[in-house]
Amino acid sequence: MAEIKQKRKFGMIDNLAYAAGDLGCNMSFALKGTMALFWTQVMGLSAWYSLLIIILQVWDAINDPLIGSMIDADKHQYKRNKFLQYIWVGSIGLIVGGACCFLPFPNAPVWAKIIIFMAGYIVWDAFYTVANVPYGSLLSLISDKEADRASLSAWRSVGSMVGNMLPMVILPFLIYNEDKSLNGPMVFVTALIMGVLGFICFQFMIKNTEIRVDTQNATTGEAFEKFNVVKAMTNFLKNRPAVGATLAAMGMFIGMQAATTAVSVTFQIYFQNP
């Protein structure tokens, strides 16, 4: 009989690993505040940006429940864990997706800039969801004790706070020229660096996450309904509470992004100290 592997006792390494996951997410998400500056000041899409970002936020509202449903419907038995496997894939995709949002081609025609912006955002958004949705689901699998889960939630907040603060402090020193203008190529390089840092954080989390709650489906062997994208979207649109919550979240993120951009522009242009 095969020897059953002993589970590691819950401790600080679990808290640090889970905090590193949100730190990795925010290494990429923090760049979203720079997106408006890059695409208006460097790429010259001032007249188009507001319309495009609203369209993309609508897609963002659709993308999250859609990818979440696809992950939930995946019944494949992975070697490590389904959620950890998706996080690993997402962590690699965020390096590429984050950089794609800041491709510096200011001399490209307007139609090409619009395609680059929308394609880059969609790629980044998809991989961010692939990493972030299963990351949130891991909380219930690391431990079944309420005290442990409360500790993980608290440390996730620490990871999120550090992940938001570091880019806010460091980015302005890297992405602006001496004349206070935005350095397009440097923003692209910084996005790559942030993606790599996020990848390192995710790898630390994956390596040190211990799954203690049995996730084996009791109905293994039974036929599962094949995931249908159209049916999932139709069901979502018919679910009024889900649509309402999604619209509220979409409005909140648009407001947060607008406020962050307004602060950055104020310090850059009015105070001449980005």
Question: Exposure of 67 by Cβ count < 10 A (0-12 exposed, 13-18 middle, 19+ buried)?
Answer: buried
| pLDDT for position 205 | 93
pLDDT at 112: 92
2 falls within a domain: no
Within a domain: 3: no
With respect to residue 30, please indicate whether it lies within any of the assigned structural domains: yes
pLDDT at 196: 92
- Kindly state whether residue 7 falls inside one of the protein's structural domains: no
Q: What is the reported pLDDT for 225? A: 57
Residues 186-205: what's their mean pLDDT?
92
- Entry pTM: 0.79
Q: Specify the amino acid at residue 119.
A: A
Q: Yes or no: say if 124 and 28 are a contact pair by the CB < 8 Å rule.
A: yes
pLDDT (mean) for 18-23: 91
5 part of a folded domain:
no
Within a domain: 71: yes
Rg (CA), the chain: 20
- Tell the burial category of 85 from Cβ atoms under 10 Å away from its Cβ (0-12, 13-18, 19+): middle
- Domain total of the chain: 1
Q: How far is CA 36 from the centre of its chain?
A: 17
In a domain, 217, yes or no: no
Summarised one tens digit per residue, pLDDT across range 82-95 is 888 899 999 999 99
Of the two residues 204 and 252, the one the predictor is more confident about is 204
- Maximum alpha-carbon separation in the chain: 72
Which pLDDT value is given to residue 226?
Answer: 62
Q: Give the CATH number of the domain where residue 24 resides.
A: 1.20.1250.20
- Do the beta carbons of residue 27 and residue 196 sit within 8 Å? no
For the chain, the average pLDDT equals 83
Q: Model confidence over 124-139: pLDDT tens digits?
A: 989 999 998 888 888 8
More confident residue, 209 or 257: 209
Per-residue pLDDT band for 216 (boundaries 50, 70, 90) equals: low
Query: Is residue 119 assigned to a domain?
Result: yes
pLDDT at 34 over 80: yes
Task: At 65, list the tokens.
Answer: 């429940």
Q: According to the model, what pLDDT value does residue 28 have?
A: 80
38: domain range? 12-212+226-270
